[in-house]
């Protein structure tokens, strides 16, 4: 029985080794060596140089803002969904997931066309004699792109966590005299923490590492850490520095995973 199970898991083990473990080892190899192949920490410490540190700071700032906006938008929605009947909420969830069937790049490109100076939104605003908005190629457009692209990743774990809260717990709180605000802050919010944590990491990590959104909606004028890494690989052919900086980013991802593991012991917030 055991050997059979092992055999069944072989494809997955192979998959993880070939597509996760080996690439990870290669990143560590490149990140910790220089062009001659000698060991060095220079690629890691390079994060402290002015340009890299600035790019990292900006990435963290923009992804924190985006995560916060996603959270504030998603939480009420998730609460509404969790209180709905099955037939209704599955439709709304479908609406949320539907855009994800379209390629992420195309959707981001569409925002570019929408936001351009003579783009769709501004044409409509001009037609209505309203002032135009000029956020394309600014950090605001990047935040918009991040929120738009990653919002579903916040909604779904929150919804999952909220819908698992036992109705009786809330009723008990009410019976004991708690008002709505009390119930929310003492019961609902604490019970949804696993969902919040998993939602935050599902939004924060991709937002932190993105380079497509910033180059498409930021006009390549705003350099995020993802753009730096992208350029090291594709333009500067410096795989060592690119890998070194990727390792630094991994630290943030690991911190996130630790947070998830601490708060989400039962895996309640896991996405679907």
| Binding residues vs other proteins (CB under 8 A) | 50-51, 54-55, 116-118, 137, 219-221, 223, 227-228, 231, 234-238
Helices (DSSP H) in 46-192: which residue ranges? 50-82, 86-97, 104-115, 120-127, 139-163, 167-175, 180-183, 189-191
Residue among 164 and 219 whose Cβ is closer to other proteins: 219
Q: Cβ distance 260 to 201 under 8 Å?
A: yes
Q: How many CA atoms lie within 13 A of 181 on its CB side?
A: 0
CA 73, chain centre distance (Å): 15
CB of 115 or CB of 202, closer to other proteins: 115
Give the residue with the Cβ less far from other proteins, 72 or 236: 236
Residue for token digits 């309640």?
268
What does the alpha-carbon distance between residue 272 and residue 258 come to, in Å, rounded to a whole number? 20
Least CB distance from residue 236 to other proteins, whole Å? 4
Q: How far is the CB of 77 from other proteins (least distance, A)?
A: 33
Nearest to 262 by CA among 173, 193, 207: 193
CA separation for the pair 102, 172 (Å, rounded): 44
Distance CA 72, CA 238 (A): 40
Considering the complex, what minimum distance in angstroms separates the CB of residue 126 from other proteins? Answer: 13
CB of 268 to other proteins, least distance (A): 41
Instruction: Report, in Å, the least distance between residue 162 CB and other proteins.
Output: 41
């Amino acid at each position: 029985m055991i050997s059979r199970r092992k055999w069944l898991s072989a494809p997955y083990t192979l998959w993880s080794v070939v597509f996760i473990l080996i690439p990870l080892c290669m990143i560590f190899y490149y990140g910790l060596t220089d062009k001659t192949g000698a060991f060095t920490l220079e690629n890691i410490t390079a994060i402290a140089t002015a340009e890299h540190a600035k790019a990292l700071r900006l990435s963290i700032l923009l992804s924190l803002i985006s995560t916060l906006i996603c959270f504030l938008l998603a939480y009420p929605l998730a609460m509404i969904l969790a209180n709905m009947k099955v037939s209704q909420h599955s439709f709304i969830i479908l609406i949320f997931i539907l855009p994800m069937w379209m390629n992420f790049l195309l959707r981001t490109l569409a925002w570019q066309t929408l936001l351009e100076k003579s783009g769709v939104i501004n044409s409509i605003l001009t037609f209505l004699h309203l002032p135009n908005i000029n956020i394309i190629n600014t950090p605001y457009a990047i935040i918009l792109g991040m929120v738009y692209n990653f919002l579903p990743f916040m909604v779904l774990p929150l919804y999952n966590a909220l819908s698992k809260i036992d109705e009786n717990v809330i009723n008990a709180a009410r019976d004991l005299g708690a008002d709505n605000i009390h119930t929310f802050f003492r019961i609902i919010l604490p019970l949804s923490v696993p969902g919040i944590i998993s939602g935050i990491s599902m939004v924060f990590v991709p937002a932190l590492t993105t380079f497509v959104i910033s180059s498409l909606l930021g006009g390549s004028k705003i350099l995020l850490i993802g753009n730096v890494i992208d350029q090291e690989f594709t333009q500067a052919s410096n795989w060592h520095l690119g890998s070194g900086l990727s390792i630094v980013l991994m630290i943030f991802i690991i911190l996130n995973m630790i947070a998830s593991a601490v708060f989400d012991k039962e895996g309640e917030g896991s996405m679907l």
